[in-house]
Amino acid sequence: MLQSYSNPEVEGIYEQVYANYMQQLVKAYQAGARNFVLIDTPNVQDSPMQLAQDGTRDVLERALGLWNGKLADLAADFQSKDPDVMATVFSSYKVFTRMYANSNEAGGSSGLKFWYDSLHPSSPVHEAVARSLAVHLRGIECT
């Protein structure tokens, strides 16, 4: 996704990817899976790597919005095809955005060092995402 976001035909590329994604979900369903948790792409437009590239932050933010929106549409479409399916989307994007705003790198006061390197989040960020995912899953009724 990160290599395609600046392509003017990004929406067409995403359509192809999501058609394949749907095929993979169907295969998992045919193998017996009924409960699906899809995790969207986190906010990486504020990563040091991305911020070092002039003029790409807003393009990536738009692409991530498009990508994550299509993921939500995919989950809803997949779930609507069979009453036995439970499909939910967990938003790592929202967790990243909230945590980054309070991090040292963003001038926040949390004391959190958000980035491990120029693209990857630190261990405390991974732990917080895992805790948020656990809370999300506790609120879901599986089939």
Phi and psi at residue 77, to the nearest 5°: -65, -45
State mean pLDDT over 10-16: 83
pLDDT for the residue numbered 58: 86
pLDDT for the residue numbered 142: 76
What distance in Å separates the CA atoms of residue 1 and residue 37, rounded to the nearest whole number?
20
Mean pLDDT (the chain, rounded): 88
State mean pLDDT over 48-67: 86
Look-up: residue for tokens 């504020």?
A: 46
